[in-house]
Structure 1
């Protein structure tokens, strides 16, 4: 059935051989940066796909979210209808009625990666698959089901048309939304005695669940067939997929994906423990980690910022050679006033613009600049309860007591947490001299990173935390909560001393956050004063550091801050590039291939 140079035979079955160059990797996701993305998932899928495409043939499969109809995207990716593909039929609802669907497929290419978007071929299907809203319960669940049917039909299409070489050598499912599509495709291939290695990556645990009537053959097209799953060290025969869904997974998508996949992965070793506490210890032996990465380059970002702002900084500040503190002063006292951030969601844009009279917020999301320069704490990301911006704001008074001229800059992407938006705006208004809040995509985003003295990451939980890498590669040490991936990217100064990249603090503790921010800010201020030749003032400043160990380190090296900045950049460059993530993915794919082989042997022994 399969070509000999692509597959090798296990008695009665076919599995991929070793994953050499040009093998087909299928990634299934609801998001991908550049097409449709609202968070870290889209960034991870996009960058991992690009990194793997240097060696493999990578295809990303998604619901269209209507993006193939946007002129700029259509032109950039060259989306064209896959002319000989059409999936049509009926789904049976819980009410017993039949619901017709007709799915088409658009193919495009960008940066060596192929993109396949499932879209509606009739108005009823289009209203779901082509809806621009990515996450909304009713819409999302409809998209998931149609995505599953569309992908299974594409597998059938390739097999019937004889395009066997187009089939995947790895199925890589990203987050719970991709579970119905991925497991349905895996099942379809297994019915043909092709045991495709299947990897399921949980980027963020959501604990969503549904009924068998949803995920089963009537709606998402997963058949209730007997098969083997790996559990507690060996493969076990199960009477049907419903048994796994109802009894083991208890209707949870992530548990189901973990049991059915050949390998369960996530983005950090710390977060893997959180996932196993939910999924169960039975799958521990088939787990792995694929870090996220960051391809920002310090020199490239600096060159871009200098091209954009350099002439204005020199003329307005009267300086020739730009220093970090010059960029900071320009950012805080000049550039903020000219920034017009972009909020893409119209409803949220109206909400934010309606708050223009509160505190330092002005028309169209702009903010008043600070009157004077000062040491800068930066925070970026979604305005989400998870990210802990409320914790940061509760830490502000304690930091102000020891560093009265500190500046906090929050560059946040609003989402549908309107109560939190109002709360944060109200809190920020209490500190008109020290805190600024910018909603949306800001023109000063990279300038802010290159200007920051310290980056704050007070997350309540954080599977990985790409933002920490983005800060560190710009030379900004991170004060972060000791949760999830932050524990693996940030090296605490109290443990790693001169090799440190920041400080880890207990989660949900404004007091510990304030202490960490204060100590790191003082280290960076002492470094700045020493680099300006003000050693006496730098030494007086070191007396304000309350941690004896850190105080001793600073006293012996007033330029400790510069060393920490260099550590930050070096750590990202050496360990957290997307090329490093691709190598981790390759190792996981190889483990999944071995597990798929064991699965095949279990079926036919």
Structure 2
């Protein structure tokens, strides 16, 4: 091992600062940032069409590594039928916290896949995995030909997308009689299965690789690993996630609940239990900083739109009114969507009443109690539960507003179509922004009264942390990491951060939203007569919350402060990354053979 900080390679498909689709992209970037003084990081990822953007941002070198060959697209399940030549280049960028190597297509065929700006586009994903795999094989082989090159002390994989490229790397290592410790983070099980023939088409041959089993280190061929992972069920192709967990020296996920409920049972039980652990995700949002950011960028316009005095301090109610009645309809550019297919689908559905053909959104005519949700469009996220709750909620709170900032994927076209029926039916209460609307993100969090995290399953839920960091009380489901990040006010009134409800329960969700909206309104009417407050209190459907409001003055405001304090104490990236540092060192010290 070198005398300097240990070298860690990161394999991932997304990385904040390069390209980010969902929560996954934030994790490696923030872990690297938090631990860059302890480890020397190099991130490997497909270019995803980002090379020109990064050239404007960081210094870079194009590495002199020749990587060419032939590939049969039909064996990958791609539409290109004839054997193709691939050409791959390596662009090394120097970021503030480590090197980032983008694996890039250098001819038209390779660019089509590696350069697709949608990391998980189903039409190009398999080609991207295959070419990433060939690229990693070329890179590691080049290091062995360059006697002065330094190998990593550890490789950290993020999700199944990079498992096949890592197998390719391990085969080169085995040929050179080297084992490098490895760790895989499973952020979310997605149950991918790939036939052995697909791995062969990605360049995986019969070279053995070394893996860590309960009995110790063992060398196996890929067919033997497949057999090990299928067990007695020889008909079923093994999960690629299970293969990844099996071949790595440690498997981790993002919460203890998800580790025990899903990762260990579905990815091998005793095969991985001895080497399984968890590391929480984090959030570094600082409330005062995001407020200042919004005021610096929009403060003058807010005062003009709302006709406020120049010396007035802009309140949360002011921000909400500006957001709902003006800013929604006055974005400087349409929300960012990297898929033409998605953009065209939304244009076909838009009728101009709420969302126009150019994807602009009409603002509300009035402000009101605001609930927000953010994230990918996926059945996992339970957006349909929110939409199904709107009829009941708006009966009790007619001026309620729901703002959903959603990231569509090519897999979500049917859901987008379904959402439009609610957009048309609830014009006074619902707006959905499809794509990344950077101007709205902080603003909506500062304005919201409730954040909805209604997932059917949720390994962790970074968006819930972001909401708490913005002092938004949560309604969240009792699944996965959400049970660890937040505290139900009914169970712990002193430290509670919101309400935990059963998943897929529209009644629980509706009652929770109504209760928190009414609770917030009671805080705003603290100076009203006891008769008015008593009437409003009786409108809270949850009796435990009614009792809490009688016990605590300004209880809604207390929940808001509890949210921020919990993030500050337990979930800053520097804090949660301390455990990852321990695990890194633990795995490296298992071998310590370099």
For normalisation by structure 1, the TM-score amounts to 0.89
Indicate yes or no: 2:180 matched with 1:203: no
2:372 paired residue among 374, 378, 389: 378
Higher mean C-alpha displacement, 280-289 vs 535-544: 535-544
- Correspondence list, 1:583-594, <5 A: 583-594=578-589
Q: Secondary structure at the match of 2:54?
A: helix
CA contact (8 A) 2:112 2:124 kept: no
RMSD after superposition: 2.5
CA contact (8 A) 1:146 1:220 kept: no
How far does residue 308 in structure 1 lie from its aligned partner after superposition?
2.4
How far does residue 236 in structure 1 lie from its aligned partner after superposition?
6.3
Higher mean C-alpha displacement, 85-94 vs 490-499: 85-94
- Correspondence list, 1:313-352, <5 A: 313-319=302-308, 320-339=312-331, 340-344=333-337, 345-352=339-346
CA contact (8 A) 2:455 2:477 kept: yes
CA contact (8 A) 1:500 1:564 kept: yes
Indicate yes or no: 2:117 matched with 1:132: yes
In the alignment of these two chains, the number of paired residues is 574
Change (3 A) 1:347 1:148: closer
Change (3 A) 1:121 1:434: closer
Q: In 2, distance between residues paired with 1:90 and 1:156? A: 17
1:297 paired residue among 262, 286, 309: 286
Q: Secondary structure at the match of 1:437?
A: strand
- Correspondence list, 1:28-427, <5 A: 28-68=11-51, 70=52, 72-83=53-64, 85-90=65-70, 100-137=85-122, 139-164=124-149, 166-216=150-200, 219-225=202-208, 227-231=210-214, 234-235=215-216, 237=218, 239-249=220-230, 250-272=237-259, 273-282=261-270, 283-319=272-308, 320-339=312-331, 340-344=333-337, 345-357=339-351, 359-416=353-410, 417-427=412-422
Q: In 2, distance between residues paired with 1:224 and 1:501? A: 52
CA contact (8 A) 2:405 2:434 kept: yes
2:461 paired residue among 465, 470, 488: 465
In the other structure, the counterpart of 1:503 is 499
Q: In 2, distance between residues paired with 1:361 and 1:397? A: 20
Q: In 1, distance between residues paired with 2:106 and 2:435? A: 34
Higher mean C-alpha displacement, 420-429 vs 364-373: 364-373
How far does residue 515 in structure 1 lie from its aligned partner after superposition?
1.1
Q: Secondary structure at the match of 2:405?
A: strand
Q: In 2, distance between residues paired with 1:373 and 1:327? A: 10
CA contact (8 A) 1:453 1:476 kept: yes
TM-superposition CA deviations, 1:125-152 (whole Å, max 9, x none): 3333233342234522222222222213
Change (3 A) 1:583 1:220: farther
Q: Secondary structure at the match of 1:76?
A: coil
CA contact (8 A) 1:190 1:196 kept: no
Q: In 1, distance between residues paired with 2:324 and 2:238? A: 51
CA contact (8 A) 1:358 1:429 kept: no
In the other structure, the counterpart of 2:548 is 553
TM-superposition CA deviations, 1:15-67 (whole Å, max 9, x none): xxxxxx62211000111123233222222222222222233211110122232
CA contact (8 A) 2:369 2:449 kept: yes
CA contact (8 A) 1:175 1:202 kept: yes
Change (3 A) 1:595 1:90: farther
Higher mean C-alpha displacement, 150-159 vs 486-495: 150-159
CA contact (8 A) 1:25 1:168 kept: yes
Indicate yes or no: 2:508 matched with 1:512: yes
In the other structure, the counterpart of 1:455 is 451
Q: Secondary structure at the match of 1:378?
A: strand
- Correspondence list, 1:522-537, <5 A: 522-530=518-526, 537=532
How far does residue 92 in structure 1 lie from its aligned partner after superposition?
7.2
Q: In 1, distance between residues paired with 2:403 and 2:479? A: 23
Q: Secondary structure at the match of 2:525?
A: helix
CA contact (8 A) 1:358 1:426 kept: no
2:577 paired residue among 582, 585, 595: 582
Q: Secondary structure at the match of 1:288?
A: strand
TM-superposition CA deviations, 1:463-497 (whole Å, max 9, x none): 21111111111110110111121111111111121
How far does residue 551 in structure 1 lie from its aligned partner after superposition?
1.4
Change (3 A) 1:439 1:95: closer
Change (3 A) 1:570 1:260: same
How far does residue 529 in structure 1 lie from its aligned partner after superposition?
2.2
Q: In 2, distance between residues paired with 1:470 and 1:221? A: 41
How far does residue 299 in structure 1 lie from its aligned partner after superposition?
0.7
Q: In 1, distance between residues paired with 2:83 and 2:348? A: 45
Which stretches in structure 2 are left out of the alignment for 5+ residues?
Answer: 77-81, 231-236
Which stretches in structure 1 are left out of the alignment for 5+ residues?
Answer: 7-20, 601-605
Change (3 A) 1:137 1:453: closer
